[in-house]
Amino acid sequence: MIPPNVSRLKQELRRLLEGAGLADKPQGLGTVQFKVVCRGDSETVLQNAKEVLTALVRKAISEWPWPDDHKWRNALPQWFVERCGEELTAEEAEKWLEWWRGLPWEKQQQVEKEKPWSLSDWIYWFHPNQRTWYWWDGQCTSAYVCRVATEVDEWPFPWGALDWLFRAAGAVSVKAEDE
C-alpha cells in the first residue's frame, strides 16, 4: 500500500537532504519561520533534528499502513528515542494530569514546556491524518541560532512536535518568528 501523502513526503525528504531549491514553491498556506536557540552547538542541533525527521520520513514513505510504536522505536535514532519521556499508563496519565491541574497557570506552562514528550505522543503528530507541517529548510546563522522554515497547511497550527524535536536535539528554545 502507498501512504496517502507520499509525493509530499518525497518532496520533504529531498528538502531535508538537499535543502529547498529556488524553483520549490510551498504548498498549503506557505511557510512559517522559527528561531531555534542553542548552546553554541547550532550545527549539531540542526543535524540531529534533520537526522530524526529524515528517518521518520523514510519510514513513512516505505511502510504503510502506519507503523506501530515498536517499529518507530527501531526506525528512529536511538539517542532521540532515549530522550523521549516515558510512556504512561492511563492511570499514570490521569494522576499526572490531576497534579498538573493543581498548579498555577504560569507553572502549568513551564511544566509543559520542559516535559519530555513520549515517543508515541510525538509520532502521533506525524500521522497523515494529523500532519499540518513539513520541513522546508533550515540554516544556522550563528553558533547559537538556527532559522528553520516549515511548510504549513493551516494557521495557527500545532507545532509542539517541532519544538520537542529540537529540544531533544539539544536546543534551548524554539519560537515562531511572529511571536
Instruction: Give the span between the Cα atoms of 103 and 101, in whole angstroms.
Output: 5
In Å, what is the CA distance from 107 to each residue of 14, 81, 113, 114? 40, 27, 10, 11
Q: Is residue 86 part of a domain?
A: yes
Q: Is residue 148 part of a domain?
A: yes
For position 1, what pLDDT does the model report?
A: 63
Q: Is residue 13 part of a domain?
A: yes
* Domain residue limits at 83: 6-176
Q: Is residue 43 part of a domain?
A: yes
b/e string for 16-28 if b means 16 or more Cβ within 10 A? beeebeeeeebeb
pLDDT tens track for 83-133:
999 988 889 889 988 988 998 988 888 888 888 999 999 999 999 989 999
Instruction: Give the span between the Cα atoms of 171 and 44, in whole angstroms.
Output: 10
Q: What is the mean pLDDT of the chain?
A: 93
Average pLDDT estimate for 11-25: 94
128 contacts 65 by C-beta, under 8 angstroms: no
Average pLDDT estimate for 41-69: 95
Q: With a cut of 90, say whether residue 170 has pLDDT above it.
A: yes
For position 110, what pLDDT does the model report?
A: 85
For position 113, what pLDDT does the model report?
A: 81
Q: Is residue 44 part of a domain?
A: yes
pLDDT band for position 18 (cuts 50, 70, 90):
very high
For position 82, what pLDDT does the model report?
A: 96
Percent of the chain with pLDDT over 90: 73
Local structure of 56: helix, strand or coil = helix
pLDDT band for position 74 (cuts 50, 70, 90):
very high
Percent of the chain with pLDDT over 70: 98
Q: Is the pTM of this model over 0.85?
A: yes
Q: Is residue 1 part of a domain?
A: no
Number of domains in the chain: 1
In Å, what is the CA distance from 40 to each residue of 10, 37, 117, 167? 32, 9, 24, 14
Instruction: Give the span between the Cα atoms of 144 and 142, in whole angstroms.
Output: 5
